[in-house]
Amino acid sequence: MLTRGTLLYIGQRLVLIAFTVVAVSSIVFLGIHRLPGDALFNEHLHGTQYELLLHHYGLDKPLWEQYTSFLQGMFLHGNLGESLVNRGVPITPLVLRELTVSVEVGLFALIFTIGLGMLLGVVAALRQNSWVDYVLSTTSVIGYSMPSFVIATFLILLFAVWLDNLTQGTFYFQIGWTGTYGSIGEIWLPAFALGFPYASIVARLTRASMLEVIRQDYIRTARAKGLRETVITIRHALRNALIPVITILGPLVIGIITGGVIIENIFGIPGLGKEFANSILNRDYNIVIGVFTMYAALVGLANLGVDLLYVVIDPRIRY
Amino acid sequence: MAATAAAVVTRPIAPEQASLWSDAWRRLRRNRMALISAVYLTLLVVVAIVAIFKTPYSYRAVGVALPYSGPSAANWLGADILGRDVLSRLLVGAQISLIVGVGTQVLVLAVGVPIGLIAGYYKGVADSVVSFIINVFYGIPDLLVAMILLLLLGPSLNNIIIAIVATRWMDMTRLVRGQTLALREREFIEAARASGAKPLKILFGHILPNALGPIIVQATFGVPAAILFEAFLSFLGIGVQPPTPSWGSMASDGLAAIRIAPHMVLAPSIALSLTLMAFNFLGDGLRDALDPRSRR
List pLDDT tens digits, range B235-245. Answer: 888 888 888 88
Q: Which residues of A touch B254 (CB under 8 A)?
A: 153
The average confidence (pLDDT) of chain B is: 85
pLDDT in tens, B243-282: 888 998 898 888 888 888 888 888 999 999 899 988 988 8
Whether the bond between B67 and the residue before it is cis, its omega within 30 degrees of 0, is no
pLDDT in tens, A51-77: 777 777 777 777 788 888 888 887 777
CB contacts < 8 A, A to B, total 93
A277 and B228 in contact by Cβ < 8 A?
no
Q: What region, left, alpha or beta, does residue A47 occupy, with left being phi > 0 and alpha being psi -120 to 50 degrees?
A: left
B152 and A153 in contact by Cβ < 8 A?
no
- Please give the pLDDT value at position A172: 65
Rounded to an integer, what distance in angstroms lies between the CA atom of residue B92 and that of residue B77? 14
Candidate from A112-121, B58-67, B168-177, B179-188 with smallest mean pLDDT: B58-67
Q: Which residues of B touch A173 (CB under 8 A)?
A: none
Please classify residue B295 by burial: count the beta carbons closer than 10 Å to its beta carbon, then call 0-12 exposed, 13-18 middle and 19+ buried.
exposed
Which chain A residue has its CA at the smallest distance from B265's CA?
Answer: A153
Confidence grade of residue A126 (pLDDT, cut at 50, 70, 90):
confident
Question: Does the pLDDT of residue B60 top 70, yes or no?
Answer: yes
Question: Does the pLDDT of residue B17 top 80, yes or no?
Answer: no
B269 and A295 in contact by Cβ < 8 A?
no
CA distance A262 to chain B (A): 7
Q: Which residues of B touch A276 (CB under 8 A)?
A: 144, 147
Which residue from A31, A149, A157 is facing B235, i.e. has the nearest CB?
Answer: A149
Q: Which residues of B touch A280 (CB under 8 A)?
A: 147, 150-151, 236, 238
Name which of A149, A278, A294, A306 to mutate to probe chain B: the one with the most chain B Cβ atoms within 10 A of its Cβ: A149
Which residue from B236, B258, B269 is facing A150, i.e. has the nearest CB?
Answer: B269
Q: Which chain A residues in 268-287 lie under 8 Å from chain B, judged by CB atoms?
A: 276-277, 280-281
Q: Calculate mean pLDDT across residues B102-109.
A: 94
Is A161 part of the contact surface with chain B (CB cutoff 8 Å)? yes
Burial B72-105 (b: 16+ CB within 10 A, else e): eeebebbbbeebbbbbbbbbbbbbbbbbbbbbbb
Which chain B residue has its CA at the smallest distance from A33's CA?
Answer: B152
Is A299 part of the contact surface with chain B (CB cutoff 8 Å)? yes
Which chain B residue has its CA at the smallest distance from A265's CA?
Answer: B236
Most confident region among A83-97, A213-227, B222-236 by mean pLDDT: B222-236
Which residue from A31, A153, A277 is facing B152, i.e. has the nearest CB?
Answer: A31
Rounded to an integer, what distance in angstroms lies between the CA atom of residue B214 and that of residue B120? 15
- Please give the pLDDT value at position B43: 94
Check which CATH number belongs to the domain holding B43 and give it: 1.10.3720.10
Who contacts B223 (Cβ-Cβ below 8 Å, separation ≥6)? B101, B102, B104, B105, B279
SS3 B210: helix
B258 and A156 in contact by Cβ < 8 A?
yes
SS3 B206: helix
Three-state secondary structure of chain A: CCCHHHHHHHHHHHHHHHHHHHHHHHHHHHHHHCCCHHHHCCCCCCHHHHHHHHHHCCCCCCHHHHHHHHHHHHHHCCCCCECCCCCCCEHHHHHHHHHHHHHHHHHHHHHHHHHHHHHHHHHHHHCCCCHHHHHHHHHHHHHHHCCHHHHHHHHHHHHHHHHHHHCCCCCCCCCCCCCCCCCHHHHHHHHHHHHHHHHHHHHHHHHHHHHHHCCCHHHHHHHHCCCCHHHHHHHHHHHHHHHHHHCCHHHHHHHHHHHHHHHHHHHCCCCHHHHHHHHHHHCCHHHHHHHHHHHHHHHHHHHHHHHHHHHHHCCCCCC
What domain range is B10 assigned to? 2-67+76-294
Which chain A residue has its CA at the smallest distance from B228's CA?
Answer: A147
A257 and B141 in contact by Cβ < 8 A?
yes
CB atoms within 10 A of CB B162: 18
Task: At B79, give phi and psi (nearest 5°).
Answer: -125, 160
Which chain A residue has its CA at the smallest distance from B238's CA?
Answer: A281
Name which of B236, B260, B273, B276 to mutate to probe chain A: the one with the most chain A Cβ atoms within 10 A of its Cβ: B236
Of B111, B115, B107, B110, residue with least CA distance to B158: B107
A258 and B141 in contact by Cβ < 8 A?
yes
Total domain count for chain B? 1
Q: What is the largest CA-CA distance in chain A?
A: 88
Which residue from B144, B237, B273 is facing A146, i.e. has the nearest CB?
Answer: B273
pLDDT in tens, A1-33: 567 778 888 888 899 888 888 888 888 888 887
CA distance A227 to chain B (A): 33
Three-state secondary structure of B41-102: HHHHHHHHHHHHHCCCCCCCCCCCCCCCCCCCCCCCCCECCCCCEHHHHHHHHHHHHHHHHH
A147 and B139 in contact by Cβ < 8 A?
no
